């Protein structure tokens, strides 16, 4: 008779983990000893590359297809992660969309899409992860410094959704405190990813630091929030943007 392999000592689920910040967080958590499940929407090739890098370094990882605008997909991804790696210790909610447009040109369907992914999807991911999380676990959302100040025409709806995430995190800390689960929000400024590649020069010119951030810098902060040293921090939003909002 073959026995069931034991679950890893600790597991993490990264919603939106196939590229950019999410991929960097998944790889960093794997180096910290977590088995990592990551979700993707439309780029299985990118997700497979992240999984391959983690496995090549001796870690455990799987990729799961899940649209963060779809409640069933979010729930199924969380359930599948637990099926593979056991109860969650860490959940990172990184999935999000940006669509910029001035007020008089902003389509209602775009407004609805951003709310569905950036607010509703974040809430559902937190809810589903918390159901499957060990007491003493860690939930981390990836917001944006636009929740503090955007300063770019057309970013109003995106900024609104990220301000909603910051408020949600602050208040959900009370719901999760009895289980000793912490929840915190990272608010990156411009980070060098495929999303920002088209306007990096403008961003660098406006940045007090005269540079953009790297996904690995966000991942380092996420790793801290996921660790034992951050057990007394909850309900906070930490801005990481080189002084952009000062």
239, β-bridge pairs: 187
- Determine the 3-state secondary structure of 213 from DSSP: strand
**Under 8 Å between Cβ of 36 and 61:** yes
Catalytic site residue 57? no
Asked if 207 and 40 count as a contact pair (C-beta separation under 8 A), the reply is no
Q: Which secondary-structure segment (H or E) carries 139? A: strand 133-142
pLDDT of residue 71: 95
CB of 91 closer than 8 Å to CB of 85 = no
Whether 3 is covered by a domain: the verdict is: no
Query: Confidence class of residue 1 from pLDDT cuts 50, 70 and 90?
Result: very low
Can you tell me the mean pLDDT for 116-135? 97
pLDDT surpassing 90 at residue 173: yes
Which entry of 18, 144, 232, 237 is annotated as an active-site residue?
144
- Indicate the pLDDT class of residue 246, thresholds 50, 70 and 90: confident
5-61: per-residue pLDDT in tens? 567 679 999 999 999 999 999 999 999 999 999 999 989 999 999 999 999 999 999
d(Cα 99, Cα 157) in Å, to the nearest integer?
8
Position 1 in a domain: no
What whole-number distance in Å separates Cα of residue 124 and Cα of residue 100?
24
CA distance 167 to 10: 28
* Count of structural domains, the chain: 1
Whole-model pTM?
Answer: 0.94
Per the residue annotation, which of 18, 46, 68, 158 is the catalytic one? 158
Mean pLDDT computed over every residue of the chain: 93
CATH number, position 160: 3.40.50.720
Active site residue 144: yes
Q: What is the pLDDT of residues 94-103, one digit of tens each?
A: 988 888 888 8
Q: Is the pLDDT of residue 194 over 90?
A: no
By DSSP bridging, strand 182-188 and strand 61-65 are unpaired
Q: What is the pLDDT of residue 200?
A: 78
The length of the chain, given as a count of residues: 246
Residue 244 lies in a domain: no
Q: Angle at which helices 156-176 and 121-131 pack, to 10 degrees?
A: 20
Residue 229 is encoded by which pair of tokens?
């040293």
Residue listed under structure tokens 């999410």: 22
Does 218 fall in a domain? yes
CA distance 52 to 138: 25
Q: Smallest Cα–Cα separation from 183: which of 123, 118, 233, 239? A: 233
The single residue of 18, 40, 162, 237 carrying the catalytic annotation is: 162
Q: What single DSSP character describes residue 166?
A: H
Structure confidence at residue 202 as a pLDDT band (50, 70, 90):
confident
Residue carrying structure tokens 């073959």: 2
Distances (CA, A) of 210 to 160, 219, 245: 26, 21, 14
Range of the domain at 155: 11-239
The CA–CA distances, whole Å, from 142 to 16, 59, 126, 187, 206 equal: 10, 23, 12, 6, 22
Min mean pLDDT across 96-100, 120-124, 168-172 is at: 96-100
pLDDT at residue number 2: 46
Is 158 noted as a catalytic residue in this protein? yes
User: Could you give the percent of the chain with pLDDT greater than 90?
Assistant: 79
Domain contains 246: no
Q: Answer yes or no: is 103 within a domain.
A: yes
Question: Which residue is listed with tokens 């540079």?
Answer: 211
| Mean pLDDT computed over 63-91 | 96
Residue 245 lies in a domain: no
Answer whether residue 62 is part of any domain: yes
């Amino acid at each position: 008779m073959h026995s069931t392999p034991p679950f890893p000592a600790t597991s993490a689920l990264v919603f939106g983990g196939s590229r950019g910040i999410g991929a960097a967080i998944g790889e960093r958590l794997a180096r910290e000893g977590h088995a990592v499940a990551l979700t993707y929407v439309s780029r299985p090739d990118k997700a497979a590359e992240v999984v391959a890098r983690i496995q090549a370094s001796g870690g455990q990882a799987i990729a799961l297809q899940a649209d963060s605008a779809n409640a069933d997909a979010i729930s199924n991804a969380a359930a599948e992660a637990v099926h593979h790696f056991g109860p969650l210790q860490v959940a990172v909610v990184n999935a999000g969309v940006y669509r910029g447009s001035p007020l008089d040109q902003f389509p209602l369907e775009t407004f609805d899409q951003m709310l569905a992914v950036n607010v509703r999807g974040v809430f559902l991911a937190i809810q589903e992860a918390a159901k499957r999380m060990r007491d003493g676990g860690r939930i981390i959302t990836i917001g944006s410094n636009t929740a503090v100040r955007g300063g770019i025409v057309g970013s109003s709806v995106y900024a609104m959704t990220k301000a909603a995430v910051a408020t949600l995190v602050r208040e959900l800390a009370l719901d999760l405190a009895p289980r000793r689960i912490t929840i915190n929000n990272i608010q990156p400024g411009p980070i060098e990813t495929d999303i920002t590649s088209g306007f990096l020069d403008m961003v660098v010119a406006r940045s007090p630091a005269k540079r953009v951030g790297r996904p690995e810098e966000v991942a380092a902060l996420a790793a801290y929030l996921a660790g034992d040293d951050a057990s007394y921090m909850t309900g906070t939003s930490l801005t990481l943007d080189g002084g952009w909002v000062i």
